[in-house]
Structure 1
Amino acid sequence: MSEFSCEEVKKLINLNLGIIELGTSKDAVDVRWFEEAEKILGVKLTESYLWFLRNYSGGEIGGEEIYSIYGVDFETVNGGDIVYHHIVNQRSGLTKPDHIVVLETDLGEVFFFDYSEFDGKECPINLRLPSGDVEHYAKNFYEFLQRRIEVFS
């Protein structure tokens, strides 16, 4: 699969608005929330994921919510806030500290950033199947969005 850029993702999103429900840059939280999220998560958010948060704030593809940053206290927020889910997953022992879940499907699939392979800008997104097996899914968040859109288009 060739490397996907933010411009190509924008085009793909615009071509598939029937299956995609995203916010806008006007909905994005203040940059201070990104900094606080990084502090709590203990990682630097990837460039492609930050691009998504700044431009779309969050949303759904095919009815599946992509975790974002809600701009509400991370300990008490619910829903699809990525930091909240990481805190809960860590307390429950469901994920490793360097695995940050970005989407969970109703079929039991769990997509996560694998920060054990972070290169300073990006890291892959892997998929944990209901069987417990883990496989590589995307080299970065752009490719993740591309593949999730293709699943529903």
Structure 2
Amino acid sequence: MYTSLIEKLAHTKALKWFPNHQVQESWIVEVEQELGFSLPPSYRWWLLNYGQALLSGTAILTITSSEHREYTDTDILYIYRLADEQTKQEGKLELFIPDEDEYYYFDTRTTDERGEFKVMRLDYFNGEPEVYADSFAEFLEKLIDQRTPRNA
């Protein structure tokens, strides 16, 4: 199902993932209960099979155990809890916040027939969100492609 992404993950230098740091299903269920909605299937797959990664040195948000959540700034629920009410009402679930002039988030109001959320990119300069990818898997593939040198 995610053959192309698995191939890219096996050979990329743009994204560094950490073997044996997968997320436990019970952690995902706990997060979904607090959020009040299910996480997208490709993101759940990523969490259960890979779990943690750095893309160009910045963490893609993940899920940690509840006892470590309050101390882990890479936990998606921890970051969501810090968000203001307007952000939550707009359906934003932050996903990747690089030290650049942009950030990426799930638009939880855009569930498709597979249960995937669109991944949005917000440019800090113009303030306009744009659809970056139709799923988490597509988001990862696009970022890997964009950050991989052409001659690699």
CA offset digits 1:51-80 (Å, max 9, x no partner):
100111111111121000011347623221
Provide the residue aligned with 2:104 in structure 1: 111
Structure 2 residue identity aligned to 1:6: Y
Which among 69, 83, 88 is matched to residue 89 of structure 1? 83
Report if the CA contact (8 A) 1:74-1:83 is conserved.
no
Structure-2 residue corresponding to 1:46 = 40
CA distance in 2, matches of 1:54, 1:128: 27
Question: What SS class does the counterpart of residue 8 from structure 2 fall into?
Answer: helix
Structure 1: runs of 5+ lacking an equivalent: none
Q: Distance in 1 between matches of 2:28 and 2:117?
A: 17
The answer to whether the Cα contact below 8 Å between 1:29 and 1:57 also exists between their aligned partners in 2 is yes
Paired positions, count: 146
CA distance in 1, matches of 2:89, 2:132: 18
The aligned residue for residue 9 of structure 2 is 13
Q: 1:42 to 1:8 in 2, by over 3 A?
A: same
Counterpart residue number, 1:58: 52
Greater CA deviation, 137-146 or 120-129? Answer: 120-129
| Alignment-mate amino acid for residue 99 of structure 2 | D
Percent identical residues: 23
Q: Which amino acid aligns with 1:103?
A: F
SS of the counterpart of 1:37? helix
- With normalisation by structure 2, the TM-score equals 0.87
Deviations, residues 13-59 of structure 1 (Å, cap 9, x unaligned): 1121x2221123x3223211100100112210100001100111111
**Runs of 5+ unmatched residues, structure 2:** none
User: Given the superposition, is the C-alpha separation of residues 141 and 9 from structure 1 closer, same or farther in structure 2, using an over 3 Å criterion?
Assistant: same
Work out the CA distance in 2 between the residues paired with 1:19 and 1:80. Answer: 18
Runs of 4+ in structure 1 deviating by more than 3 angstroms, as ranges, are: 72-75, 93-97
Mark the CA change 1:146 to 1:105 in structure 2 (over 3 Å): closer, same or farther: same
Aligned-residue CA RMSD (Å) = 1.8
TM-score (norm 1): 0.86
